[in-house]
Amino acid sequence: MAELLRVERLIAGYGEAHVLAKVDFTLEEGRSLALLGRNGAGKTTLLNTIIGVTTHHAGSIHLQQRDITRLRAEKRAPLGVGWVPQERNIFRSLTVEENLTASARPGAWNVSRVYQMFPRLQERRRNLGNQLSGGEQQMLAIARALMLNPKVLLLDEPLEGLAPIIVDELLAALRRIVTGEGMSAIIVEQKARKVLPLTDEVIVLERGAVTYRNTSEALLASPEILEAHLSV
């Protein structure tokens, strides 16, 4: 498989503060990565650095061999970086369908295909964003990112604060997206046992540095390593 994303010796943070400490990893096309670690380990900062909203201190980021390290955030999305932040950031005063079409880009993912993935959104396509439940807002945030037709999808704790039945529904959708559709993805999640079955590879961050990397299957089969790194 061709290399999609390469992060090399990345040091980044906020202002003068360093949060990431020489982070290295690669992601191939069609592969998915679980990004795990305790609270404050630097997981969100790593995603924020890939999308370009932190302070870069050293190292590099390449997307499909192109150096995007110095590109502004608004220049990265058109190159294929899709982002689903913790805050979801949907347009609350727009309808579901307006949210989907507001920033859509041409490609395989369109409104019809998104509605097939998330039937709830089709049922509520005329509802405003602020009329949706938390789970529906999360579905909309993911669907809106797909409408950009990204090369890599970054998801920051997509299951946080959701009811168990919605968690199961979202997990099923994410499985179809990353496994069935072959979307490259990096998923930050506190619920390690939920996300590992969806992903191919895993890295664990501690104090901004990579302390463990392996296949997701290997980590899932090693409860003692899960306990040591994540206390789960």
- Digit-coded pLDDT (tens) for 98-112: 999 998 999 999 999
| pLDDT score of 116 more than 90 | yes
pLDDT at position 232 = 55
User: Average pLDDT of 195-224?
Assistant: 96
Cα 106 from Cα 60, distance rounded (Å): 29
- Digit-coded pLDDT (tens) for 133-189: 999 999 999 999 999 999 999 999 999 999 999 999 999 999 999 999 999 999 999
pLDDT at position 154 = 98
Residue 76 forms beta bridges with which residues?
none
Tell me how crowded residue 76 is: count the other CB atoms within 10 A of its CB.
Answer: 20
Domains of the chain plus CATH, in order, are 1-80+151-159+184-232 (3.40.50.300)
Largest CA distance in the chain: 48
User: Average pLDDT of 218-222?
Assistant: 95
Give percent of the chain above pLDDT 90. 94
Summary mean pLDDT of the chain: 95
3-class DSSP state for residue 184?
strand
| pLDDT score of 231 more than 60 | yes
Tell me how crowded residue 223 is: count the other CB atoms within 10 A of its CB.
Answer: 11
Q: Which residue has the tokens 């669907």?
A: 143
- Digit-coded pLDDT (tens) for 33-63: 999 999 999 999 999 999 999 999 999 999 9
Residue 185 forms beta bridges with which residues?
32, 153
